[in-house]
Amino acid sequence: MLTVLSLEARSSFTMHIHILGICGTFMGSVALLARELGYRVTGVDQQVYPPMSTQLEDAGIELFEGYAQHGLDVLQPDVVVIGNALSRGNPAVEFVLDNKLYYQSGPQWIAENVLRDKKVIAVSGTHGKTTTASMLAWVLECADAQPGFLIGGVPVNFSCSARLGQGEYFVIEADEYDCAFFDKRSKFLHYRPNTLIINNLEFDHADIFPDLSAIQRQFHHLVRTVPANGHILMPAQSALEDVMAMGCWSSLDYLTGPNSAWHITDISADDASFNICRMATTDEAEIESGEPLERGVICWTLSGEHNRQNALAAVAAARLAGISVANACAALSRFHNVKRRMELVGEVNRVQIYDDFAHHPTAIELTLEGARRKFPDRRIFAVIEPRSNTMRMGVHNSRLAEAVATADAVWWCAPESEAAAIFDTSDNVHLIDDVDEIVASVAAKVRAEDVIIVMSNGSFAGIHAKLLAALAS
């Protein structure tokens, strides 16, 4: 059994970990944290390419490309950390098993080597985890708390996806996806948070969960790990109420609903500013005037109700860490969104192209509604690649037409022969399964002041650059 060492003990020798699937966002973050701890870190992936490969190499991490060239026979690491994208039959996995090498999942390694001595704030839920975790880490940073964090994206304010931090707090994006081929529990069950944010809960990850109740069961297991002196923050949502009905042993604070002390007010017409207020609760002095105990103003470039709710969760969690609402809101007024969350990638001839990670009907709908508020007088074109396992399985087909109703025109990267029965095939909805044909079709219809939002959780075959080039010509 691997002995978990203190920071002092680690300094006496160099422990070596080898990571299978190192170029994924989560596993790459594990690698960066291990390197920061002073470990020798190596890794292998099927596709090793920038920017993750560059980030890892800059950190002094040796990379092997292709699992048949896994390097394990030469390196003989102390521990092999195996990503959840790998399964039985993979040459590296089979080598580990055949040679009885010590192995762990990424979440287990994080729990044992990074989180044990930290006050952990975990951000979970179907939507908004990356953005909320990034907001909270930034608020703590502005308060000089020097937090550590592991986030499933690259926050622009930090320019890295993970760091140890010098303070007592560690913010972690808590994913419900499974850990590894040998550990089918949700990742977040390893994190044991002191404060747990649950943004929302919907059915997702149909490749590993048969239904919503299966996901709710995992969230209930997560709730069981929060200590009695810990806190849970969540909106009043029926799917989450069902989770809490299974048992809750910690302080529960609602972010929405009649029992909530938190409110969002004074939203500007263009979404550029709003207030966050904290009212008195039953265990605090009542204020007869109805005025809030605390108030803060956020002025920013983000848009949409979903981002306001993300901000509210971050402010509420920061308040538990002793940061005033006013100071938290001031920090969020200097927050720059995560890469690939309505990220402006270019502008040509007064046409703006945004990149967004949305890959679930709810996320698509909220992003487009936010864009409509931000750009009320401009045409909005949505170009969408339904790439996630859940979308490909057709689980949410009945919701897709409604999800894009706000857009003026939509291009789905899907073959018409397969998808015509799913999508509204009006003049403004296009089904094309070739990226170059999509680019040509969009370029033929676009005009000055239009907004193009590209949505995918993958690279979408470099469509962003192709659109910019087509518009420039």
Tell whether 1 is covered by a domain: no
Q: Are residues 154 and 25 in the same domain?
A: no
Output b/e per residue, 378-408; b: 16+ Cβ within 10 A: bbbbbbbbbebebbeeebbeeebbebbebbe
The more confident residue out of 281 and 285 is 281
**pLDDT band at 1; cut points 50, 70, 90:** very low
Q: Are residues 92 and 216 in the same domain?
A: no
Whole-model pTM? Answer: 0.81
The tally of domains found in the chain comes to: 3
Contact 346, 329 (CB under 8 A): no
**What is the mean predicted confidence (pLDDT) over 227-234?**
97
The more confident residue out of 426 and 365 is 365
> What tens digit of pLDDT does each residue of 340-369 get?
777 888 888 888 888 887 667 877 888 888
Mean pLDDT of the chain: 86
Q: Are residues 306 and 448 in the same domain?
A: no
**pLDDT band at 271; cut points 50, 70, 90:** confident
Q: Are residues 62 and 145 in the same domain?
A: no
Tell whether 2 is covered by a domain: no
* Residue at a domain's end among 106, 128, 161: 106
Q: Give the pLDDT confidence score for residue 6 in this predicted structure.
A: 44
Q: Are residues 72 and 132 in the same domain?
A: no
> What tens digit of pLDDT does each residue of 108-146 get?
999 999 999 999 999 999 888 899 999 999 999 999 999
Q: Give the pLDDT confidence score for residue 160 in this predicted structure.
A: 84
> What tens digit of pLDDT does each residue of 365-419 get?
888 887 888 888 889 998 888 766 555 555 556 677 777 888 888 888 876 655 5
> What tens digit of pLDDT does each residue of 139-170 get?
999 999 999 999 987 788 887 889 999 999 99
Q: Residue 405 and residue 327: Cα distance in Å, rounded?
A: 37
Q: Give the pLDDT confidence score for residue 113 in this predicted structure.
A: 96
DSSP lists the bridge partners of residue 41 as 17
Q: Are residues 54 and 157 in the same domain?
A: no
Please determine, for residue 299, whether its predicted confidence score (pLDDT) is greater than 50.
yes
Q: Are residues 423 and 326 in the same domain?
A: no
Q: Are residues 326 and 393 in the same domain?
A: no
Q: Give the pLDDT confidence score for residue 412 in this predicted structure.
A: 83
Q: Are residues 141 and 233 in the same domain?
A: yes
Domain of 396, in residue numbers:
343-472
Q: Give the pLDDT confidence score for residue 141 in this predicted structure.
A: 97
Burial class of residue 445 in the structure, from the number of CB atoms within 10 Å of its CB (0-12 exposed, 13-18 middle, 19+ buried)? middle
